[in-house]
């Protein structure tokens, strides 16, 4: 429970129930979306932002149902356009906390362009990308993140294309916050969501999410308690990259500069790469995003990158625009807008 004030300045206490709608939650039994929904509704009260100042926008796919289950403002948009809708809202209502919920098919196929531009502009929206490596709503076709060789209804002879790496794409777009977590980790998932919410600017969180019907067990190596310590590298800013039951494995740089696994006993802790999430250069974050790609471990989870850069639509940005407008003058501005690149068509 968190004490805060509503739009009228009255003191209120927020709890999980304040963000739960009256709609019956309907996903397939065992779907990872249930866990993500519970985590989001559970941590939102901590932010002290009431539901009427919170917005959830989704696209098409199983994740699109998310907006119906949140007792906030929201919109179920068309395929791939959730980041565009969120950008428009952020430009006109900077007082709102805006979240985007999308899937790997919705965000990385038809929506890839909108996603990239929201991230490069550093629009202050938090994007939760549910990645189950399959099209679930349309019944099991290969998605942009499906692994090479995967047999699906749309790839009966095996997928030939290279899968798209969501975090690499985000980093290539100069996203200021990039993270990865898992639907079944009840401690890690809220912690990453909390970090994303506190970040100024755009934040992309990839959530590895199980589809029990069409791609069950796709991430079992990372969620199974018996193997997770051998397959996951939990990122902590300022700490050496170690993993294993007793931290016996580590991540080092090879002679070619690539990240690779080594035994700490063989190389010594001083040889391990120290995670720096605040490094302006995204090279380390990009290398971490490529580590463990496909089905090979170990896979880094946590915040890969969290840096500060100008935020789209912030007061400083608006002040610069206003100053430029005043310096240009209304008459000259009109001339620029309707200048030599306009023409009149007769008839």
How far apart, in Å, are the Cα atoms of 214 and each of 38, 153, 193, 269, 303? 22, 10, 26, 42, 29
| pLDDT of 20 above 90 | yes
Residue 30 has a pLDDT of 94
Those residues whose C-beta lies under 8 Å from the C-beta of residue 251, and which sit 6 or more positions away, are 233, 241, 242, 259, 260, 261, 262, 272, 273, 291, 298
Task: State phi, psi for 205 to the nearest 5 degrees.
Answer: -120, 115
Within 8 A by CB and 6+ apart from 176, the residues are: 119, 122, 199, 201, 202, 203, 305, 306, 307, 308, 309
Q: Which residue did the predictor score with more confidence, 133 or 332?
A: 133
Query: Mean pLDDT, to the nearest integer, of 165-178?
Result: 97
% of the chain exceeding 70 in pLDDT: 95
- Amino acid 80: pLDDT: 94
β-bridge partners, 58: 76, 101
What are the phi and psi torsion angles at 211 (to 5°)? Answer: -105, 100
Judged against a pLDDT cut of 70, whether residue 340 lies above it is answered with: no
Average pLDDT over residues 313-321: 77
According to DSSP H, which parts of the chain are helical? Answer: 33-43, 82-92, 104-105, 112-120, 166-172, 188-198, 220-223, 228-231, 264-267, 283-290, 315-328, 330-337
**Percentage above 90 pLDDT, the chain:** 82
Write down the pTM of the prediction.
0.91
- Counting Cβ atoms within 10 Å, is residue 296 exposed (0-12), middle (13-18) or buried (19+)? exposed
**Of 4-13, 160-169, 239-248, 265-274, minimum mean pLDDT range:** 4-13
What is the number of other CB atoms lying within 10 angstroms of the CB of residue 128? 26
Q: Binning pLDDT at 50, 70 and 90, where does residue 37 land?
A: very high
d(CA 122, CA 308): 10
Question: For residue 272, what pLDDT band results from cuts at 50, 70 and 90?
Answer: very high
Domains and CATH numbers, the chain: 2-239+275-315 (3.40.50.970), 248-272 (no CATH)
Does residue 317 carry a pLDDT above 90? no
Q: Which whole number is the average pLDDT over 239-261?
A: 94
**65-74, 86-95, 144-153, 311-320: which range is least confident on average?**
311-320
**pLDDT at res. 295:** 57
């Amino acid at each position: 429970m968190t004490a805060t004030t509503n739009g009228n300045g009255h003191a209120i206490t927020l709890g999980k129930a304040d963000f739960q709608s009256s709609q019956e939650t309907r996903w397939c039994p065992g779907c990872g979306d249930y866990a993500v929904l519970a985590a989001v509704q559970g941590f939102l009260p901590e932010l002290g932002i009431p539901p009427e100042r919170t917005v959830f926008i989704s696209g098409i796919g199983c994740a699109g149902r998310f907006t119906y289950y949140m007792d906030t403002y929201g919109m179920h948009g068309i395929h791939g356009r959730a980041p565009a809708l969120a950008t428009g809202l952020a430009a006109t209502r900077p007082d709102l906390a805006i979240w985007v919920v999308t899937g790997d098919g919705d965000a990385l196929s038809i929506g890839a362009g909108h996603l990239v531009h929201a991230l490069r502009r550093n629009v202050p929206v938090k994007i939760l990308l549910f990645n189950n490596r399959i099209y679930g709503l349309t019944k099991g076709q290969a998605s942009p993140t499906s692994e090479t060789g995967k047999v699906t209804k749309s790839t009966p002879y095996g997928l030939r294309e290279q899968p798209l790496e969501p975090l690499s794409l985000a980093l290539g777009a100069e996203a200021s916050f990039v993270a990865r977590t898992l639907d079944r980790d009840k401690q890690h998932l809220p912690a990453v969501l909390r970090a994303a919410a506190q970040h100024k600017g755009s934040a992309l969180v990839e959530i590895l999410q199980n589809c029990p019907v069409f791609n069950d067990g796709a991430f079992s190596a990372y969620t199974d308690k018996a193997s997770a310590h051998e397959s996951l590298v939990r990122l902590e800013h300022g700490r050496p990259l170690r993993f294993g039951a007793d931290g016996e494995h580590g991540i080092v740089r090879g002679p070619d500069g690539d990240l690779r696994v080594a035994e700490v006993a063989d190389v010594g802790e001083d040889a391990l790469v120290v995670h720096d999430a605040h490094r302006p250069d995204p090279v380390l974050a990009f290398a971490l995003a490529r580590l463990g790609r496909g089905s090979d471990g170990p896979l880094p989870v946590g915040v890969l990158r969290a840096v500060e850069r100008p935020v789209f639509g912030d007061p400083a940005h608006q002040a610069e625009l206003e100053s430029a407008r005043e310096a240009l003058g209304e008459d000259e501005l009109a001339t620029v807008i309707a200048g030599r690149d306009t023409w009149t068509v007769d008839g």
